Amino acid sequence: MNLNRAMIIGNLTKTPEVRTTPNGISVTSFGVATNFIWTDASGNRQEKVEFHNIVAWRKLAEICGQYLRKGSKVYIEGRLQTRSWDDQTGNKRYITEIVADNMIMLDSKSASKSADQGSAMNSTQEETPTIQVDEPIINNSTNEIKVEEIPF
């Protein structure tokens, strides 16, 4: 049996941008920073930051592009993937990414709105985001809801 799962909670290092492949498929990539804190043998507090490359496809890519901003706290779940390519000088380059299949926004609505608008906002002024779903998320033949098709 094999298992390839990655789960992280961290903050976005930049605002994601949605791109479209020549075949019309949405894709977005962004970075998430996580912190590891420990106490060393001398009793000193230590901290190490890890930076993770995230790639999301299709509807999840669109949702990430619409709702996530630099600094947003998120839970990302997916699988690890390493890609390679030749750079302009002919050297082989590698990148390891988490290909996301689940994302949960962990910021409060008022925190993400104030960060998005650049100013503090009264929590009574929060708006509910409008999400359009192109396809039904319930399979009528089995009444099964597919998690990857839920638009938030």
Domain boundaries, the chain: 6-114+129-149
Name which of 38-42, 68-72, 114-118 the model is least confident about: 114-118
Give residue-wise pLDDT tens across range 57-115. 999 999 999 999 999 999 999 999 999 999 999 999 999 999 999 999 998 764 545 44
pLDDT of residue 59: 95
Residue 19 has pLDDT above 70, yes or no: yes
Distance CA 71, CA 94 (A): 26
pLDDT of residue 28: 96
CB 77 within 8 A of CB 101: yes
Name which of 25-29, 37-41, 49-53, 121-125 the model is least confident about: 121-125
Distance CA 46, CA 32 (A): 20
pLDDT of residue 113: 52
pLDDT of residue 107: 83
Q: Which two tokens stand for residue 72?
A: 């947003």
Report which residue type is found at 7: M
DSSP character at residue 129: P
Taking CB atoms within 8 Å and a gap of at least 24, the contacts of 133-142 are none
Give residue-wise pLDDT tens across range 120-145. 333 333 333 433 334 433 333 444 55
Place of tokens 């390679």: 84
Output the CATH code of domain 6-114+129-149. Answer: 2.40.50.140
Task: Please list the residues that pair with 60 across neighbouring strands.
Answer: none
Residue 152 has pLDDT above 70, yes or no: no
Q: 66: burial class by Cβ within 10 Å (0-12, 13-18, 19+)?
A: middle
pLDDT of residue 130: 37
